[in-house]
Amino acid sequence: MERSFFHQVQDVFEGMVFGEVDGVLHATAHKRGLKVWYDEATREHYEAQLIRLDGEPALEIGFHAEYPKVGENEAVLARLVGQEATWRSGLGDEPVAGEFLGADRWRRISETWDPPDPDDVDAAIEVAARLADYVTTIEPVRRSG
């Protein structure tokens, strides 16, 4: 069975974050993305995924709050934005905090890139590294709230 680009990202990512964050790491890769979370926090997770942005394909990398109710997602985002200086120092100016792209009830802290070449190993490493940046920067802030 051929492994997808995001399975490669997962392999690299898991090596990058091993021992960096307490808790049990869960990850699921498929042909359009990689989703990771710690312990039972499935509604608050990290993704690298292919999306459509203004009708064009894009890669989105970052943190998501995906509770069923807008208020729950707003509360998560407000808590994280309240500590923005902490995570901005690790992630820079690229992340956008706000509504999820294409789903107005969900919230995100993420950025978009041009879609990667699925045959480029270096691209898999770059995507994994950026996702690892989000996890190691935001996860401690998320847990402190």
Point out the least confidently predicted range of 45-49, 53-57, 133-137. Answer: 53-57
Q: What residues contact residue 99 under an 8 Å CB cut-off, 6+ apart?
A: 106, 107, 108
b/e for 91-125, b at 16 or more Cβ within 10 A? beeebebebbbeeebbbbbbbeeeebeeeeeebbe
Quick one: pLDDT at residue 103?
81
Query: Residues 113-118: what's their mean pLDDT?
Result: 95
Sign for the CA dihedral angle at 56, 128, 3, 37 comes to negative
At 135, list the tokens.
């996890």
Point out the least confidently predicted range of 6-15, 62-71, 86-95, 98-107. Answer: 98-107
3-state class of 117 per DSSP? coil
Residue-range domains of the chain with CATH: 5-144 (3.30.1460)
Band (pLDDT 50/70/90 cuts) for residue 104 is: confident
Backbone dihedral region for residue 43 (phi beyond 0: left; psi -120 to 50: alpha; all else: beta): alpha
pLDDT, tens only, 85-103: 999 999 999 999 999 987 8
Query: Which pTM value belongs to this model?
Result: 0.95
Query: Residues 107-116: what's their mean pLDDT?
Result: 97
